Amino acid sequence: LFLPKGVLHNSSAQWWQRSKLVDFLDEAYCGTISFEVTHLPSLDQRRWWYQAAETPRAAWLPSPQRRRSLLIRLLRGTLFMPFLRRKFPSTKWFGIDGCEALICGLFRLFYRSAQHGVETIELGM
């Protein structure tokens, strides 16, 4: 358990109340997101993941405009698949069924890569 400095020690009190600490840990480790980091060889990498898990979920929420753009990308990808099935019924192809969230992840990866000067990205299956 890697709690950032200042989490257990509150400026207004020496220690948090037990109920508040339990609520904090419940939100961090008993939510809908899970991850496995024990296989990572670097302590720094594991610590980064633990600290990310212990960051309050409110800090993760994108702005309403960003959420709307994510929804539009998901809808485009989801609605594009039935179109391809109708347009090319006899063609064998691999769809994105079950991996719709990958669309948003790849878009963000490409966007951030371009910000850092990457000019070419090659993907393979």
pLDDT at 116 over 90: yes
Going by pLDDT thresholds of 50, 70 and 90, the confidence category of residue 112 is very high
- Enter the pTM of the model: 0.51
Q: What is the pLDDT of residues 53-104, one digit of tens each?
A: 777 777 778 889 988 988 898 888 888 888 888 888 887 777 777 777 788 8
What's the rounded Cα separation, in Å, for the pair 21 and 27? 10
What percentage of the chain exceeds 90 in pLDDT? 16
pLDDT at 2 over 60: no
